Amino acid sequence: KELNGEIAIVEEYLPRQLSDDEIKRIVHEVIETNKFTAREMGAAMKLIMGKYIGVIDGKKVQMYLKEKLTS
């Protein structure tokens, strides 16, 4: 119980993480705006992570980028 209370207090001060739908929208917009190809996935990742540092899950960004760029 005490640990859950401490976690809740800490979470109040952390920035809200973006939802999966928000991440998918951002990935789509970045790819379309910059015309990234599969070979430029690293550049797309760097751009997104730099802009949304602390509020976006890098593993999800990578997964959605790979999904979008290789389909």
CATH number, domain of 37, equals: 1.10.10.410
Q: Is residue 9 part of a domain?
A: no
Q: What is the pLDDT of residue 69?
A: 94
What distance in Å separates the CA atoms of residue 65 and residue 3, rounded to the nearest whole number? 36
Q: Is residue 45 part of a domain?
A: yes
As a whole number of Å, the CA-based R_g of the chain is: 15
Q: Is residue 35 part of a domain?
A: yes
What distance in Å separates the CA atoms of residue 40 and residue 44, rounded to the nearest whole number? 6
Q: What is the pLDDT of residues 26-39, one digit of tens each?
A: 999 999 999 999 99
Cα–Cα distance list, 16 to 7, 25, 26, 62, 64 (Å): 14, 17, 16, 19, 20
Domain count, the chain: 1
Q: What is the pLDDT of residue 65?
A: 97
Say what angle helices 20-34 and 41-51 make with each other, to 10 degrees.
120
The pTM of this model reads: 0.79
Q: What is the pLDDT of residue 44?
A: 97
